[in-house]
């Protein structure tokens, strides 16, 4: 049986924040060390031109021997060997497992459901890679719970205001540092399966638990305002003892990381425990000074000061922060393996 691979998810906070650059860096670092690597995606990635700005984008480039999964319509005509089908389908066709025979670019297209991604990753893992990279984005992160570590790519394309970018990233980092709290902390938890439930729905879900402490266990995203309101709601009379998320990805999916971090802090101030059932370590944050700036009828490439960006992040975050372009693949590899 193949040894268990390390599964690392990579996601960008916006387009053009350096996610593909980070992925390529880890692929190059792994290949240079003789580490077998595979890549898969939650969705579609690898286009040559940004469909909003019209500016060129870096391609996903794999070395000989690397394994990838992508839709059959995305497999290059030459230089790739089809190993098997996964049984999963996308709008671009059936997802296949392929091996790179000659170094070259590939477009990734994969399943966006956790169950399908888990099955694809399991199938890839049987081929023996030591490292599996899962390419994602903040708007399609839910299946990322298959990962064992996470790399967050952010940068000036998200916002050129460095202080704002740092505060947002610090809020995101705080979710990955939440303690683990398996079910059973204060009794039977109120498990919430509804995405973005209302306060009334949450209160109704606690019916029959009069006078006892309440633990909300969220399996799907919830709005930060609802988190605050339910912990202050007179109908629960201060009985909310814990708010638990399935994993750190769920708070990210609320749409406003800073608002969610503030809501969770208000919970703590009222004595409400905040935790996750399944931790997901944040291995590194990559920062990209690149900024597509509007000019005339299109965009031109611009940037914020790279040293100022990197310095501000390193002064505020506890997670290793890397500028992949300035520092090279080895710096990101070191952060991942430390």
CA-based nearest residue to 44, from 27, 57, 30 = 57
Looking at residue 72, the DSSP 8-state letter turns out to be G
Q: Output the pLDDT for position 209.
A: 65
Tell me: the pLDDT tens digits for 87-137?
Answer: 888 888 999 999 999 999 999 988 878 888 888 889 999 999 999 999 987
Report d(CA 44, CA 30) in Å as an integer.
23
Tell me: the pLDDT tens digits for 51-82?
Answer: 667 777 888 999 999 999 999 999 988 899 99
Q: Are 23 and 288 in contact (CB under 8 A)?
A: no
Q: Is the pTM of this model over 0.75?
A: yes
Q: Name which of 138-147, 215-224, 264-273, 307-316 the model is least confident about.
A: 138-147
| Residue where the block lists tokens 């099955």 | 119
Report d(CA 99, CA 101) in Å as an integer.
6
- Whole-number average pLDDT of the chain: 90
Q: Output the pLDDT for position 29.
A: 96
Report d(CA 150, CA 9) in Å as an integer.
5
Task: pLDDT band for 182, please (50, 70, 90 cuts).
Answer: low
**pLDDT exceeds 60 at position 240:** yes
The structure tokens listed for 57 are 């984008």
Q: Output the pLDDT for position 47.
A: 67
Task: pLDDT band for 3, please (50, 70, 90 cuts).
Answer: low
Report d(CA 138, CA 99) in Å as an integer.
28
Task: pLDDT band for 153, please (50, 70, 90 cuts).
Answer: very high
pLDDT-above-90 percentage for the chain: 66
Q: Output the pLDDT for position 187.
A: 58
Report d(CA 55, CA 195) in Å as an integer.
36
Task: pLDDT band for 1, please (50, 70, 90 cuts).
Answer: very low
Q: Output the pLDDT for position 46.
A: 63
Task: pLDDT band for 319, please (50, 70, 90 cuts).
Answer: very high
68 vs 50 pLDDT, higher one = 68
Mean pLDDT for 29-50 is 86
Task: pLDDT band for 39, please (50, 70, 90 cuts).
Answer: very high
Q: Considering only the C-alpha atoms of the chain, give the largest distance between any 2 of them, rounded to a whole number of Å.
A: 67
Cβ-in-10-Å burial (0-12, 13-18, 19+) of 90 comes to buried
Highest mean pLDDT among 100-114, 202-216, 274-288 belongs to: 274-288
Mean pLDDT for 188-201 is 91
């Amino acid at each position: 049986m193949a040894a268990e691979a390390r599964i690392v998810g990579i996601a960008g906070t916006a387009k053009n924040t350096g996610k593909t650059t980070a992925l390529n860096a880890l692929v190059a670092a792994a290949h240079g060390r003789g580490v077998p690597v595979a890549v898969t995606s939650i969705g579609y990635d690898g286009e040559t031109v940004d469909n909003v700005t019209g500016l060129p984008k870096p391609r996903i480039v794999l070395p000989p021997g690397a394994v990838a999964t992508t839709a059959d319509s995305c497999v290059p005509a030459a230089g790739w060997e089809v190993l098997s089908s996964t049984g999963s389908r996308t709008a671009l066709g059936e997802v296949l497992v392929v091996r790179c025979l000659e170094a070259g670019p590939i477009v990734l297209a994969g399943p966006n459901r956790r169950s399908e991604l888990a099955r694809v990753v399991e199938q890839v893992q049987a081929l023996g890679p030591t490292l599996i990279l899962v390419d994602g984005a903040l708007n399609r992160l839910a299946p990322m719970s298959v990962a064992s570590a996470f790399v967050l790519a952010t940068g000036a394309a998200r916002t050129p205001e460095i202080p704002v970018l740092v505060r947002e990233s610090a809020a995101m980092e705080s979710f990955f540092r939440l303690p683990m709290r398996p079910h059973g902390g204060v009794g039977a938890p109120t498990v919430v399966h509804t995405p973005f439930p209302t306060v009334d729905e949450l209160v109704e879900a606690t019916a029959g638990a009069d006078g006892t402490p309440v633990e909300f266990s969220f399996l799907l995203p919830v709005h930060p305002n609802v988190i605050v309101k339910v912990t202050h709601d007179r109908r629960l009379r201060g009985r909310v003892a814990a708010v638990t998320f399935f994993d750190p990805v769920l708070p990210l999916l609320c749409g406003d990381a800073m608002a969610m971090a503030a809501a969770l802090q208000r919970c703590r101030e009222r004595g409400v425990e905040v935790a996750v059932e399944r931790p997901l370590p944040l291995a590194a944050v990559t920062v990209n000074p690149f900024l597509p700036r509007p000019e005339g009828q299109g965009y031109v490439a611009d940037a914020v000061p790279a040293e100022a960006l990197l310095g501000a992040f390193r002064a505020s975050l506890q997670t290793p922060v890397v500028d992949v372009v300035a520092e090279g693949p080895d710096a990101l590899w070191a952060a991942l393996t430390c």
